Structure 1
Amino acid sequence: MKKFVLILTIIFLLINSALYPAFAITLYPTITAPSGILIDADTGDVLFEKNAHMQMYPASTTKIMTAILTLENANLQDKVIIDKDTPFTDGSRIYVIEGEEFTVEQLLYALLIDSANDAAVALAKHISGSIEEFAKLMNKRAKEIGAKNTHFVNPNGLPNDKHVTTAYDLAIIARHAMTIPKFREIVKTVRYQIPPTNKQTETRYLKNSNRFLWGVGPRNKILYNGKSVDIKYNIIDGIKTGYTVLAQQCLVTSAKKDGHRLISVILKAKGKNIYLDSRTLIDYGFENFKFIKITDAGKKVKSIPIKNGTEKTIDLITQNNLYKTIPKNENLNSIDKIVKINKNISAPIQKGQLLGKVIFKSNEKNLGEVNLIAAKSIEQKKGITSIFYFDDKKRSLLHYFLIIFLIYIIWRTIVTIIRLRKRKNKLLRKRRLARKNKKYFY
């Protein structure tokens, strides 16, 4: 009887899935780690989260932010001279020597591939002069990127009770980092060499700590979906590992498939579970979500009137493409557009000038927004009005000139009326006097 019920249930589920695909949803993934997240790198959409806003220790995933600041504030060929304190940095190192010279580029590879804590300190001091000042810069930049629950106190992630972040914050920091070409190049590199320096006669050979990029063979296996598979996964192209006793295994992962990128973050996993959890999320994302285009860049949305221009209207076009990630079993039936235009738009206008934005919605769900820009340049009107025009947001000088001129005309009219009355009264007095004189002489 039990077998019969089980068979009926399976048949029902199969038929239901075929007839109503919207309900045929893959089970939400399970990860072993206490905190994790999966986002779409292009849209920023969150596809999975587990305690994603809970503050955790980031360990060496901190170095993603250190790399961002280095690439934004230093030249790759800048020379960095090691001071007397940096060689004594704890943890993973490339064993820099006091007075040794490196390029910024060499230290970046050491930072992101070999996870060198001394390289992180050297870069921090090169950019900000001290670890403390660099930490301030890290926190400022993190907030600008959108990390709200992150606080850094060092550039390498060495243990500190106040050095914390969240899976969500790390994901959006990594998302920004992957927009930088040099960062993408470094984090997917498996091996790198630092040649002999002025203080070191031997070449330093570095190997990426991320086994997703090279992990094959008996020692690099995980049990995934009931099978023993290599940790190496061809669709993964970075980003950064991390480990301390307090933080345990941490990993930020970027994976690209069919031209589309996902980013996962796993914090405080145990052992090889860091790779199991990360691959679970990456595969879940690619298997269960689709990437759709909401609008193209350069698409006309609206024409609006232009004040004081050589043309009466201007076309507003979308500044860039807009994509959205949705479950594969869902469809966007109708998309509504809400257009918001800036106030007081008047010539001159430059091509590409920001003039408003368009918000896309479907069934009251916000799909995203795109800036609206001018499709072409429009010059200001020439002639007498342009001579007096001085500010797009204020009335023209001609307007005030006309008011003053009107006041002058009224004043002149009043003065003229007064003078005419005086002349009239004077003439009347002369006439009366003339009559009196005439009567006298008669």
Structure 2
Amino acid sequence: MWTKLVPVTALIASVSLTGGTAYAAPTTPVGGEALGSRGLVTPEGVKEPPKTQATSYVIADADTGEVLAAKDPHGRFLPASTLKTLTALTLIPKLDKDRKIRPSENACNQEGTAVGLSVKATYKIDDLFRALMMSSGNDAAMALAETNGGVAKTMSDMNALAKRLQAYDTVAKTPSGLDKPGQSSSAYDLALIARAGLANPAFRGYISTKTSKFPAPKGYYEISNHNKLLWRYKGMIGVKNGWTSKALGSFVGAASRDGHTIVVSIMRHEGYFWDEVAKLLDWGFSVRGKVQPVGRLVDPLSEVQAVPRSSAPPASKVTPAAQPPLLDTAASKQTDSTRTIGSVVIGGGLLFGLIWLGFGIRRRRRRSGS
């Protein structure tokens, strides 16, 4: 048995942000009933996953889509640069990788982590995708968005793809993942997006490249992948890490062993998470194919599909969340540390709460993330 806490994303109808196809959101948590919990959800008969400081995580079999364990999987948090997975997945099919561009001053002057674009240099789109996924270049993210027709169009494209993937917790407001009011994702959605990315050969190539030469106004310089596990973890394919002072640490990664791939996503980690992620991956490999999954990563929708109701596998044990249910404090007590959206039933009615971080944030370069 589990305690059901349905995320607000499962209760509100979704409409297309592009004015095109509309997708109606499901009435149960995407991936299964058990994934509506804000606590730890694990299969019966095995030890719980290793401890992690992450507020939210998902461990899944990328081949089958089976979710092996999760903690607050649909909790909405700031994604930081893990959002670049959606940026890449959206734009790779839209932009010719051999096209050459000169970036704008706006792109070159983006705050936070940058690859070092120059208005005096010419870059292939292929170079910019490597800068985006290897070096987490916010300048590259903006240059790609501008090449796609501008930030507004790119946000529309990214949000439309998120809906088609059934990543309903995800709202993109920036191509780089830099914090902005209203932007969000979840550990479940990051795993869903990463799984879709792994099926794209170009995406997979960018995330797995360790080092590469990058153009400069005169010559080249070397860039390296920020994913430390590419050097440390056996079978690591890659994907993306992120950090801002508001979002804290986030990461989604995939590794393959003996023909099987495990994906792990974490959000809102306060410290050094690499060793913890490695242990979560190890746990995933150790139990895959041996336990009843607690949910599943759903498949993308076609453009004419409505969202199907998610059915839960006969799960598992659910440990109550350490944090309180959403909206258990009054709106007057909201602070800059509030990072969730939720709902609570009061007197038979539904009170929707929107608690957004970031209003009036004055960003400084040294606090910006990767």
- Shorter chain as normaliser: what TM range? 0.5 to 0.7
1:95 counterpart (96, 116, 133): 116
1:206 counterpart (223, 235, 247): 223
1:188 counterpart (197, 205, 208): 208
Bigger proportion of residues as helix:
1
Amino acid at match of 1:254: A
Q: Do 1:132 and 1:154's aligned partners in 2 also have CA atoms closer than 8 Å?
A: no
**Residue 365 of structure 1: how far off its partner (Å):** 6.4
Change (3 A) 1:23 1:247: closer
1:287 matches 2:286: yes
Amino acid at match of 2:274: Y
Amino acid at match of 2:204: R
C-alpha distance in structure 1 between counterparts of 2:90 and 2:288, whole Å:
33
1:261-410 counterparts in 2 under 5 A? 261-272=261-272, 274-290=273-289, 326-327=290-291
**Residue 328 of structure 1: how far off its partner (Å):** 8.5
Q: Do 1:40 and 1:262's aligned partners in 2 also have CA atoms closer than 8 Å?
A: yes
SS for the counterpart of 1:72 is coil
Q: Deviations 1:264-303 (Å, cap 9, x if unpaired)?
A: 001111222x11331222111111222xxxxxxxxxxxxx
Residue 66 of structure 1 corresponds to 87
1:85 matches 2:106: yes
1:131 matches 2:131: no
Amino acid at match of 2:152: E
Amino acid at match of 2:266: I
C-alpha distance in structure 2 between counterparts of 1:97 and 1:210, whole Å:
25
SS for the counterpart of 2:170 is coil
SS for the counterpart of 1:33 is coil
C-alpha distance in structure 2 between counterparts of 1:163 and 1:79, whole Å:
30
Runs of 4+ with >6 A deviation: none
**Residue 24 of structure 1: how far off its partner (Å):** 5.4
Amino acid at match of 1:276: D
Residue 9 of structure 2 corresponds to none
Amino acid at match of 2:276: D
C-alpha distance in structure 2 between counterparts of 1:201 and 1:36, whole Å:
43
C-alpha distance in structure 1 between counterparts of 2:192 and 2:71, whole Å:
16
Residue 251 of structure 2 corresponds to 251
C-alpha distance in structure 2 between counterparts of 1:50 and 1:328, whole Å:
16
C-alpha distance in structure 1 between counterparts of 2:113 and 2:145, whole Å:
16
Please say which of residues 98-107 and 131-140 is displaced more in the overlay: 98-107
SS for the counterpart of 1:73 is coil
C-alpha distance in structure 1 between counterparts of 2:73 and 2:292, whole Å:
24
Q: Do 2:56 and 2:75's aligned partners in 1 also have CA atoms closer than 8 Å?
A: yes
Amino acid at match of 2:218: T
Residue 341 of structure 2 corresponds to none
Q: Do 1:266 and 1:277's aligned partners in 2 also have CA atoms closer than 8 Å?
A: no
What is the count of residue pairs matched by the alignment?
255
Amino acid at match of 1:80: I
Residue 435 of structure 1 corresponds to none
**Residue 188 of structure 1: how far off its partner (Å):** 1.2
C-alpha distance in structure 2 between counterparts of 1:160 and 1:62, whole Å:
12
C-alpha distance in structure 1 between counterparts of 2:254 and 2:281, whole Å:
9
Q: Deviations 1:67-126 (Å, cap 9, x if unpaired)?
A: 112211112101122123211100111221225321010001000001000000001111
**Residue 204 of structure 1: how far off its partner (Å):** 2.5
Change (3 A) 1:251 1:28: closer
1:40 matches 2:39: no
Residue 176 of structure 1 corresponds to 196
**Residue 184 of structure 1: how far off its partner (Å):** 1.2
**Residue 28 of structure 1: how far off its partner (Å):** 4.1
SS for the counterpart of 2:162 is helix
Q: Do 1:255 and 1:261's aligned partners in 2 also have CA atoms closer than 8 Å?
A: yes
Change (3 A) 1:28 1:72: same
C-alpha distance in structure 2 between counterparts of 1:52 and 1:328, whole Å:
17
Change (3 A) 1:23 1:155: closer
Q: Do 2:63 and 2:261's aligned partners in 1 also have CA atoms closer than 8 Å?
A: yes
C-alpha distance in structure 2 between counterparts of 1:62 and 1:24, whole Å:
35
Q: Do 1:84 and 1:99's aligned partners in 2 also have CA atoms closer than 8 Å?
A: no
SS for the counterpart of 2:108 is helix
Bigger proportion of residues as strand:
1
Change (3 A) 1:108 1:23: closer
C-alpha distance in structure 2 between counterparts of 1:23 and 1:242, whole Å:
32
5+ residue gaps, structure 1, are 1-21, 215-231, 291-325, 330-360, 367-442
Amino acid at match of 1:327: V
C-alpha distance in structure 2 between counterparts of 1:158 and 1:236, whole Å:
26
Amino acid at match of 1:210: N
Residue 140 of structure 2 corresponds to 119
**For the pair shown, which has the larger CA radius of gyration, 1 or 2?**
1
Overall identity of the aligned pairs, in %: 30
Residue 348 of structure 2 corresponds to none
C-alpha distance in structure 2 between counterparts of 1:36 and 1:141, whole Å:
22
C-alpha distance in structure 1 between counterparts of 2:174 and 2:48, whole Å:
39
